[in-house]
Structure 1
Amino acid sequence: MEPTDATGQHVHFEDDGLLRARALERFRPSCRYLRHASVTGGGAAEPALLARGDFSLPSSCFVEKRTRHVSAVEVTLCSTQLLDYAFAEVVRQRLFAPFDRWTPEQFWAMHAGERMFLLDVHVNFRHPLDPLTLRGELELVHITEREGRSGPLVLLDLAVRFGDARSGRCTGGVKTAVIDPPAGRTPDRAPTQQPG
C-alpha cells in the first residue's frame, strides 16, 4: 500500500537533479552513486514515505579493484544518499510532521552540521547484487520525537530493500537520529502534487 495525502491521492515527486546534486555534495565525486531518485509520501493518518533510487557503482571508494558484487559498506552509502535526498524532498514539500515544520535552509544546516546521522544499519544479502544495475528502496516504518539528554531528538526507523537487474537481493533496516531539530514553523500550504 502506497502513501496517500489527506485527500487519499498519491503524492509522488520524481527526480530533481539539482536537489540530488546538493544531497550528494558531502560525498567524494567517485562515491556519488545515486543516479535517479523518486519520493512518494504524505498521509493524513500516519506519516508515510517510500523513496526509490537507481545507483551505479563502477568503482569502489575503499578497495583498489571493483568486485562483481556490492558490499555492506556500499549498501550503507547508497542508503545514506537516498535518505538524504528523500528527506530533503520531504522537508521541501512539507509532507508530514515534524518535517513540515522545518525550512529547507534549516534542513541543509542540520545536514552540514552533522546533526542528522545513522545510528544503526543492518543488511542481509539473499543474493549478490550487481553494482552497475543496483536499485534501492527506503520505507519509513516509525518516527519518534522525544527529549534526549542534551535536547530534543527525532528518531527514524526505516526498512531498506535492494535489488538489481538480475536476481540480486538485499533487505535490512536503518535507524537515523536528528539531534536538536529546528523549533519549526506552522505549515501554511499543501504539498505540490505530481501525478502518482
Structure 2
Amino acid sequence: MDRTADPGLRYPTDEELLAQVLRPYRAKNCEYLKSAVVGVDSGPDGRHRVGAACTFQIPESCYIDDTGHFNSVEFNICYNQMFYYLLAKSVRESVLEPFARWTMDDFWARQLGDILITDFRSTFRRQMGARLFHGEIEMADVAEWDGSDIRDALVVIRTKCRYWDDLGGDSHGEVTVAILNPPQSGP
C-alpha cells in the first residue's frame, strides 16, 4: 500500500521540527538553516519527487575566521542540515517511501550515526556571500535493499542541491547518502 502524500503539496517550515533537527549543531554555534519549505511533485516518470526550498544565514563561521565567502565546508554543513530536515519532514508527513513507514523515533535514532555521505561533489560557479543565501535540495532517487545473510539492510538516496545569493553567487552539488540499519519493512 502506498502511504505517500499527493503531488503538489507544500509543507511550510515546522519550527519545532527544525529546532530538533538542528539540536546537534547548537553547541557548535552553527545552526545555519533558517527555513525550509518541503514540496512533493510528480516527476516525468510519474514517481513522487520530494525537495525543499531553504534559507540560510551564516553570521559567523563555526570553524574558521571569516573568509568573506561561502566555502566547501559551509556547503557541506548546510547540505547536512537541509538533508536532515528534508528526511525528518518526509518521515513526519509520510511523503515518500520508504520513509512513510518510519516513525520519528526511527529517524532520531539514525540521524547522526547511521546516515553517511558516500559520494559528495560540489561546484562553485560564482563566489557567494555567506551571510544570507538560499538553497534547494531534491531527493532524485531512493533505493532500498532488505538485509540478507550476506549484507545488512540499506537505503541509498541520490540528491541534488544548489545554493545562490541575491548577488548572483552560485554553487551546486550531487550527494549520495546511505542510511544504515533502516527500520524493518512492514508486510
Q: Same fold (TM over 0.5)?
A: yes
Letter aligned with residue 156 of structure 1: I
Query: Which residue in 2 is equivalent to 1:13?
Result: 11
Paired residues of 1:43 and 1:96 also in contact (CA < 8 A): no
What does the per-residue CA deviation read over 1:86-134, in whole Å, with 9 as the maximum and x for residues that have no partner? 110100010111001111111111115x111222221100101111121
Alignment of 1:64-75 (within 5 A): 65-75=65-75
2:87 maps to 1:90: no
**C-alpha distance in 2 between matches for 1:66 and 1:156:** 33
1:43 Cα deviation after fit: 4.8
Alignment of 1:79-158 (within 5 A): 79-112=79-112, 114-147=113-146, 150-158=151-159
Query: Which residue in 2 is equivalent to 1:37?
Result: 36
User: How many residue pairs align between the two structures?
Assistant: 179
Normalising by structure 2, report the TM-score: 0.88
Query: Which residue in 2 is equivalent to 1:178?
Result: 179
Paired residues of 2:156 and 2:176 also in contact (CA < 8 A): yes
Which is worse superposed, 28-37 or 97-106?
28-37
Query: Which residue in 2 is equivalent to 1:60?
Result: 61
**C-alpha distance in 1 between matches for 2:23 and 2:118:** 21
**C-alpha distance in 2 between matches for 1:32 and 1:11:** 26
CA RMSD of aligned residues (A): 2.0
**C-alpha distance in 2 between matches for 1:42 and 1:23:** 24
Paired residues of 2:137 and 2:160 also in contact (CA < 8 A): yes
**C-alpha distance in 1 between matches for 2:75 and 2:119:** 13
1:142 Cα deviation after fit: 0.9
1:68 Cα deviation after fit: 1.3
Paired residues of 2:69 and 2:129 also in contact (CA < 8 A): yes
1:42 Cα deviation after fit: 5.8
Query: Which residue in 1 is equivalent to 2:22?
Result: 24
Paired residues of 1:42 and 1:96 also in contact (CA < 8 A): no
Structure 2: gaps (5+ residues): none
What does the per-residue CA deviation read over 1:26-71, in whole Å, with 9 as the maximum and x for residues that have no partner? 11341110111110026594131111111111111111x2121111
**C-alpha distance in 2 between matches for 1:42 and 1:106:** 25
